[in-house]
Amino acid sequence: MPKRLSYILFLALALAAGQASAFTLDLNLSDDAAEFKLAWHKQTGGEALLETQVSWLHEQDNGDLLGLGLHLVDNANPAGGRLDTGLGGRIIAIDTPGPDGVALAVGGYFRWTIPNMNRLGLGGELYVAPSIVSGGDLERHSQWALRGEYQVLRQANIYLGYRRVRPDFGGGSATFESGLHLGMRLNF
């Protein structure tokens, strides 16, 4: 992993932590992979939040994917079931046993609370990085995930999800990580 990216991630963590009004910790596991996400939320003046996010996805055979994201987050459905939507992007760095690369992936995520079933929800994310914003050995990148959530406590959810991460290092897209995972999200 390039040292400069590690320094950038550390600097972003230090800056964001001092300005945060709320935190979210997300951890999910499968047989072959583990993902850790930490997000800081800061009020923007209206109802929207500015979210800074760092993430680390480790896949035991394929390596590591680090991410640093920035999103504008708001409830996109104030009249019905809560639909939290985040739009923005993340800088990703992929370190595999072979090729490595970095990219600016744009996209977003959603979390929908099912009306009249306050404890159940659906969530997902989609990020893409075309060749114009990819570097190193990485020519393009895409990743998506879907999940079903259950609110165990007011500030804690568990979920079952499916994720697919596909970098393209020039020889066509390869699957970095794909499959079911079980996770929890804690809000502070």
Which of the 8 DSSP states describes residue 79?
A: T
Mean of the per-residue pLDDT values for the chain? Answer: 90
Which of the 8 DSSP states describes residue 114?
A: P
The domain locations on the chain are 3-187
pTM over 0.85: yes
Residue 79: exposure state from Cβ atoms within 10 A (0-12, 13-18, ≥19) = exposed
Nearest to 90 by CA among 123, 125, 115: 125
Q: Which residue's structure tokens are 């639909």?
A: 83
> What is the CATH number that goes with domain 3-187?
2.40.160
Residue 43: exposure state from Cβ atoms within 10 A (0-12, 13-18, ≥19) = exposed
- Give per-residue pLDDT as tens, 109-138: 999 999 888 899 999 999 999 999 999 999
Write down the pLDDT at residue 170. 85
Write down the pLDDT at residue 97. 92
Percent of the chain with pLDDT over 90: 73
Would you place residue 12 in the very low, low, confident or very high pLDDT band (cuts 50, 70, 90)?
Answer: low
143-164 average pLDDT score? 98
